[in-house]
Amino acid sequence: MSISIRIPDGLADRLAAEAARRGITTDSLATELLAARLPEEDALEAFIGSGASGRGNLGRNHRGIRAELTKGLAARDL
């Protein structure tokens, strides 16, 4: 299937510049970017990121947060 979209000139210029930098076509880059943003869903992917922890540092500090919440117990000990 093929579609056409209209994007603002500034964005089109950025897309073209990035495609040229990578040595690929703008169509290939647009497809890559859309596929990364709109992945095929499976049950796990649909679930990931669906909750809100209220902690902005979860990705960087997940081990420390887990230790804090589980009083340092390992997963096998829970």
If DSSP states are collapsed to H, E and C, what string results for 19-52?
Answer: HHHHCCCHHHHHHHHHHHHCCCCCHHHHHCCCCC
Binning pLDDT at 50, 70 and 90, where does residue 23 land? Answer: very high
User: Is 13 a residue whose pLDDT tops 80?
Assistant: yes
Binning pLDDT at 50, 70 and 90, where does residue 29 land? Answer: very high
Specify the pTM. Answer: 0.50
Angle, helix 9-22 to helix 26-37, in steps of 10 degrees = 100
